[in-house]
Every structure is written in C-alpha cells, then in structure tokens.
Structure 1
Amino acid sequence: MKNMVLMDIRCDLEGDLDRFAEHQMKVNGYKSSKNDNLSVFRQYMNLLNREIPPKPRTVFLSRELNCPNDLVPGFNSLVDALTNGKNVNPYLSSNLKLTSYSDGFLNDFGLHHFHLGTEICSKGKSKGFINRTGPVLIAYITEQSAYLIGIYEHGRKGAKYLWVDKTVIEIIHNQWPEAIAHFKINGISLSQYPITPEQRKALRNKSCNSFIEMSDGTIYAPIGGGVTAAGTNTKITIEFDRLITKLTILLEKLCSYINLTRDYRLRYPITLTLSSIINGYLFIDKHNHIQYLVHIVNDVEILIIKYTNGVLPDYYPHMKSFQVNSITESIIAFYR
C-alpha cells in the first residue's frame, strides 16, 4: 500500500479565536486592549469570568447585612434582578469595561461588589452603569445562588483593607459553609502567624497566591481560582490551554478526514478558518466553498459534518452570514 500524500492545509487557530472574540466583544459593547499577557481571546474569557450571566438565583442574606435607608430602593432592585434572572452587570464596577483588567478581589476571594444606585449613568467613566454609591454590596455569586454578605463603605471613605480583609470570607464560612466547601484544604495547618490584610495586599500586588485561614483553623484555597505569575487568572489560563489542546486535536482529525476523502475537485492550498465555537466548531474553507462542523460526541467520538455551497442546516441558525436552507450535501465521519 502506497503512503498517502498529505495535501497543504493551513489554519491559524489562535488568530481565528482572537478575531471571533473581538467580534463577540464588539457586539456587546466592549473593546479589547493591547496586552502582552492576555491575547484578545483570553481578554474575552477574562470578561466572561467577571460578568454575571443573567439567570434566576436563590438569594441569601447574611445576618451582618444592614442596608442604609437611602440605599434600600437600589438594594431591592438588585435583589429583584438577581432573583428573576435580569442583567445585574450594570451594578458592577465600571472597570468591567476594561477587558484585560485583573480583579484581585474576584481572583482571590471570588467575590463581586455591587453599587446600589437606581439610575443609569448617561456620561463619564460609568456611562451605562448604575449610578455609583459609596457603600457597596459584597456578594458571592454561583450559578444557582447569590450570597449577599454585607454593605461596606468603599473608596476614600472606606476601610483601607476592604478588598483584602478575610472577614467577608469568614461570614460565608460561618453561615453558608457548603457554598465554599469544595475550596477547603484538608490535612495542613498554617503558621501561628496568620496573613494580615496588609500582607495579603502586598502578595496580590506581586501576583502571589495565598491560602485563606479562618479563625477556627479551616483553610481555603483562593476561591476565585488565584493568579499566575503574569497576574492573569489561573482558571482562565487552564481553560484556554485546554481549549487550544482540544482544537489542535480536532483540527488534526479534520485534516486527516479531508485528505482521506481524496476529493480531486478541491483546490489547494486549503486555508481553514475557525469561524465559530458556538454549538460546535465551525471551520470554513472559503476557497472551496465548504464548511465543516465538528462536534465531540460522548467525550470520545469526533463527528465531522461537511456542507457545500455555503448552506447550513436549520439547527445551526446563529450563523447569519449563511443562507439557511436544505442541505445540499452532508458527509458524516466518526473518529474514535
């Protein structure tokens, strides 16, 4: 059996991811920034990590929570939004606009802070956000729940070490320990000299991670995932590396599939563009007017569906640039 001749197939995965992310951010009113530590796609991941997806959540109030009378309307509106799955991102810090911003409070403690105004700012740095308030609500947000910890003065009038004081974690530990139980570190004990807020601030400024020790000796890993030496969120870095590994494997399988079809009509070199990662991975060969939709089935099989003549099936409606019509040709290949 003669060796198969491999054809010239090219793809710029990371470049395509950056272009996809740039488009997604632009559609939602964000703009990437020049950052040597964060590619455009990782800035997009950083943004998604800091945003709170709108979905109904069960709201829990801590015993320490006391809302000032003048902030009750804003507080009630926020609770209503959390309960009913409305968009609460306008209540967050206006730094959300900065796609490469590293939020030490979120990366370390896993917590958000919310402003408690009632009107949307129409100009300035906070345009599009709820009007800013001195006291802010600190909360721990999960997929199903919102744990409202307390309202604290921040900024120049606020506590000097508000963002590094483990007291807010202690409240979760004492009242809702199940919410952060999966971050608990067993089998170790720390020094008799716990990290002070001032020391924690210095460690964060140097992109160093530290455990969070409670007064009863319980120890937690960084609830927000921690940071790398470059100051980027560790969780995002790991997820990005996994995605690139997955896409590299899928691309290799797709190239093998294209070569195995031995279609004499194809014009080379083929340049594949990763156009979408929503509902599968869509690779487009514009030169030959072919799209390849790649799925992972049951975590062990790779499903490749080939579409010609720029036509996509009805169950893939979000690609608005293509005509949605009946499939003119589909070839399904399974790889194990």
Structure 2
Amino acid sequence: MDIKGLVDRDLDELAARYLNGLNFKTSLKYSCLEQLLKFKHWMIQDKPRKVSFAKNFSIPIDHRIGLDLIINKIENGRGEIYRHQSRGLFNGNSKDLMFYDFGIHHLHLGIERDLKHKQMVNGTKKIVFVYINDDEAFFLKVDEHEKWHLKDFFKIIHRERPDLIRHRIIPVNEGDEYTDDEIKFIRKIGLNYSLKIDDVSGFVAQTYL
C-alpha cells in the first residue's frame, strides 16, 4: 500500500474542498494543496499592525477615503484587508512576483464591492504599494497599476527604514545592479538573484530565503 500517495491524495482533496468553499478558481497546473499554501502566504491576515509612511508619500484627494479605509483596517486588524489585494488572489494561476520577491503588496483604493470579483473591493487605476510584515505596514507610494518600480521602492525602504529589510542582507554576496526590466526577465525564467542598492550589496529575493 502506498501510504505516502494516499496521504498526498487526501491532503489534496481536503485542500480542494477548502478552496471550493472560497470560490477559488483552481489551476490544473498545480496541486490544490500547493495552491492553498500559496493563497495562505499571499493573503494579508487581519491583525493589528503599526502604520508608517515614506517621507514623500502623498495621496490624490479622490483616493483619500480609500486610503483611510485601508489604514483603519490595518491598524485595527479587522475588516478583511485582503479585499484590497490583487484580483488574482483567488486564482490558482496568478502570481504576485513583487510580493514573492520582496514582501511588497499593492492594494486597491476602492471602497465599494467589485461586482465582477465579489470577494474584492472595486479595482482602481491608481494603487498603493506597501511593505507589510507581521508587525507593520510601511506605505511607499501611490502610483498607476502598471508602474512596478521595484528598485525605486526598495531604495525607499533601504534609505528610510533599513531595519525592515536588514535580514535580507548577505554580506558575502556582492549583489548586481539589475534594471527593473532585467529583474522581470530573471523572475520569469525562475533564477535566483540579489541586488545592490546604494552602498549595500546582497539583498536577496524573498522567494529563495
């Protein structure tokens, strides 16, 4: 009897049942257990967190209410902050590589429920980029959805809040000065990489820690 195979099958069936209860769109490319674990780590859990802001952070007046809603949910640790995350959160084929690599989330500034993606708030063209860990949410910048300036965001964290990413430094690693386009290509082909930011070398992508 293949006990390991039976256990793997049972775990996958349990994961499939759980995901179906969430109206999660499962993928045929990955096991349901793998998709459930990805969902668990990608989804921002409700818990009280400190909120802080980059020095040059600003918010367009028409998105002020949306930002206040997000801040309230983060500070109070309730309100289902995940509803502001990527539309792909409930899709097994979707990935958020900026989050995977460096823990930077993008949150939509909508205030009403999305009629198409009913688990989420309505999507907005401008989104807020936030570095989030278990204790704090550091708001980096509001920008348009397609402007994924990874190195600029990481420089903000390094220069203003180096304590948040100190654990990512490997002193023996020199790091590379990749452009954002080069980083996107490296991610796409699944290679490990590290970055040199200002005078500090060896910031390693979260995916490989």
TM-score, normalised relative to structure 2: 0.91
SS at structure 2 position matched to 1:46 = helix
Deviation, structure 1 residue 29: 2.7
Conserved 8 A contact 1:110-1:225: no
Matched ranges for 1:164-179 at <5 A: 165-179=150-164
- Counterpart residue type for residue 138 of structure 1: F
Conserved 8 A contact 1:111-1:138: yes
The residue aligned with 1:212 is 195
SS at structure 2 position matched to 1:218 = strand
- Counterpart residue type for residue 46 of structure 1: K
Conserved 8 A contact 2:57-2:141: yes
Matched ranges for 1:100-115 at <5 A: 100-115=93-108
Structure with higher strand content: 1
- Counterpart residue type for residue 106 of structure 1: F
The residue aligned with 2:46 is 54
Deviation, structure 1 residue 128: 2.8
The residue aligned with 1:79 is 71
SS at structure 1 position matched to 2:200 = coil
Gaps of 5+ in 2: none
Gaps of 5+ in 1: 1-7, 227-234, 236-336
**What is the root-mean-square deviation in Å for CA atoms of aligned residues?**
1.8
Q: 4+ residue runs of structure 1 moved beyond 4 angstroms?
A: 8-11
Once residues 29 and 9 of structure 1 are traced to their aligned partners in structure 2, the CA distance between those partners, rounded to angstroms, is 32
- Counterpart residue type for residue 154 of structure 2: I
The residue aligned with 2:35 is 43
Once residues 214 and 28 of structure 1 are traced to their aligned partners in structure 2, the CA distance between those partners, rounded to angstroms, is 40
Once residues 219 and 98 of structure 1 are traced to their aligned partners in structure 2, the CA distance between those partners, rounded to angstroms, is 33
SS at structure 2 position matched to 1:127 = coil
In the alignment of these two chains, the number of paired residues is 207
- Aligned-pair identity (%): 25
TM-score, normalised relative to structure 1: 0.58
Conserved 8 A contact 1:108-1:209: no
The structure with the largest alpha-carbon Rg is 1
- Counterpart residue type for residue 55 of structure 2: R
For residues 202 and 46 of structure 1, do their structure 2 counterparts lie closer, same or farther at Cα, with a shift above 3 Å needed? same
The residue aligned with 1:188 is 173
The residue aligned with 1:314 is none
